[in-house]
Amino acid sequence: MRTIEVIKGGALSTVQDLGRYGYQRYGVPVSGALDQFALRVGNLLVGNEESDAGLETTFLGPTLRFHFDATIAVTGGDLTPVLDGQPVPGWASLSVPQGSTLSFKGPRDGIRSYVCVRGGIDVPTVMGSRSTFTRSQFGGFRGRAVATGDMLPVADRGSDAPQSGARSLAPLTVPHYGRHHALRVTMGPQDDAFTTAGIDTFVASEFTVTPVFDRMGYRLEGPVIQHKKSADIVSDGTSRGAVQVPGSGKPIVLLADCGTTGGYTKIATVISADLPWMAQAQPGDTVAFRPVCLDEAHRALSEQEAFIASLRS
């Protein structure tokens, strides 16, 4: 059987792909990998489609036993992966003989690691996606984080199907997440709800990551960002990357599981290319926001897409 047995689930390990689009108007969040770059690259390194499902693991990773000869790549944050006790190189494809056990010894850089397996984790699609949305208990593996005893099915891509493209990332291109994150943002959509002093505070200050974070978002601590009048707006759409500032004046950066609509002012939005750094942050890390224009955000995205495209061929 092409299965991965979960020996230990770890802090939070969920099946994720690139998310669930087309249902946000019904209030269904996008979900999907928080660090999309890591999942996409991991998939390419094992010869998958970028959109195949992998296992997003958090902080203390899981312990997994492979019941078949697998090809895997572990990407994203460095949680010190080991295979039968031997260190596993990150961001590289690796043959895993049947019966081997993958475990993690703790975070060294970043907090979310992606286990990508050739073939992809083959859970049923729900609304077009294999991503887990734990809050409403659907998608992924039975709508929840994986736990001891679960058997995760892996699709068969055909062992003789040729694998093209890169097998590992060049060392210089491997992301390092660190503990300080300078995130580029485009201002708005509600930057006009803030005073000039409020905007200055937002762009010139350093904020600290608090322990209040999950797949919906990160609550940050720092100086109060001053509104002109009210922190409330007529509810509108909310997207991943949005920096919401409620009445407290303390920012919240929204991530993949965030609600589809909300009634707080959003001062800015973190650009896609920089979102992995937010998703890899942990309590005590510092965050600074640097405004860029939309053209620059799109250039950064194009560069990242060109890099990912270069791994395909």
Q: How far is the CB of 46 from other proteins (least distance, A)?
A: 24
Q: How far is the CB of 189 from other proteins (least distance, A)?
A: 4
Looking at residue 302, its amino acid is S
* 229 counts as binding other proteins under rule CB under 8 A: no
- According to CB under 8 A, which one of 7, 11, 82, 126 is a site residue for other proteins? 126
Q: How far is the CB of 81 from other proteins (least distance, A)?
A: 31
* 138 counts as binding other proteins under rule CB under 8 A: yes
* 199 counts as binding other proteins under rule CB under 8 A: no
Nearer to other proteins, 98 or 230 (CB): 230
* 59 counts as binding other proteins under rule CB under 8 A: no
* 214 counts as binding other proteins under rule CB under 8 A: no
* 182 counts as binding other proteins under rule CB under 8 A: no
Residues 135 and 114: their CA atoms lie apart, in Å, by 21
Nearer to other proteins, 124 or 284 (CB): 124
Q: How far is the CB of 253 from other proteins (least distance, A)?
A: 11
Binding region for other proteins (CB under 8 A) out of 74-82, 156-164, 168-176, 297-305: 297-305
Nearer to other proteins, 185 or 279 (CB): 185
**Cα–Cα distances in Å, from 120 out to 4, 74, 133?**
11, 13, 18
- Residues near other proteins, by CB under 8 A: 21-30, 126-127, 136, 138-139, 185-186, 188-189, 234-239, 241-242, 259-262, 266, 269-273, 294, 297-298, 300-302, 305
